[in-house]
């Protein structure tokens, strides 16, 4: 059909209308053709393991022993990371300094102090 929209998840045009929803058989995403009411971009919130929102400059604590890729360093549970910086590319990563080294950490292994 020429009036079916492309899938917003995978971008492919192989979608079909199933009464109430558009369905993409390539990625199994179901969606409506409704436009968001706000013309502003949606800002993704960065959340820690407990669901608290993280901001630049926050202090966090590591909740699990983590091996650092490409290094023999292990970040132990309970290590405090002060003054984090949020990653602009991926909301699940933050940058912080641990033992003098700047490393990226996944937010699912952190809790806000």
Has residue 99 been placed in a domain?
yes
Assigned domain for 46 exists: no
Please say if the pLDDT value at position 40 is more than 70: no
Q: Domain of 24: which CATH number?
A: 2.20.25.10
pTM (two decimals): 0.61
SS3 percent helix, strand, coil of the chain, rounded to 5, is 5, 30, 65
* pLDDT (tens digit per residue) in 66-102: 999 988 999 999 999 999 999 888 889 999 999 888 9
Return all residues near 90 (Cβ < 8 A) that are at least 6 apart. Answer: none
Least confident of 2-16, 51-65, 99-113: 2-16
User: Can you give the residue range of the structural domain that contains 13?
Assistant: 1-36
Q: Name the β-bridge partners of 37.
A: none
98 occurs within a structural domain: yes
CA terminus-to-terminus distance, the chain: 53
Q: How many residues does the chain have?
A: 113
Give the number of domains in the chain: 2
- Together in a domain, 32 and 71: no
């Amino acid at each position: 059909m020429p009036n079916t929209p492309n899938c917003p998840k995978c971008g492919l045009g192989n979608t079909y209308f199933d009464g109430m929803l558009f369905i993409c058989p390539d990625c199994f995403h179901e969606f409506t053709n409704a436009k968001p009411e706000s013309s502003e971009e949606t800002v993704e919130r960065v959340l820690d393991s407990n669901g608290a929102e993280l901001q630049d400059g926050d202090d966090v604590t590591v909740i699990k022993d983590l091996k650092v890729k490409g290094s023999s360093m292990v970040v132990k549970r309970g290590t405090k990371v002060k003054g984090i910086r949020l990653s602009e590319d991926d909301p699940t990563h933050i940058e912080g300094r641990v033992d003098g080294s700047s490393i990226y950490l996944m937010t699912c292994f952190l809790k806000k102090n």
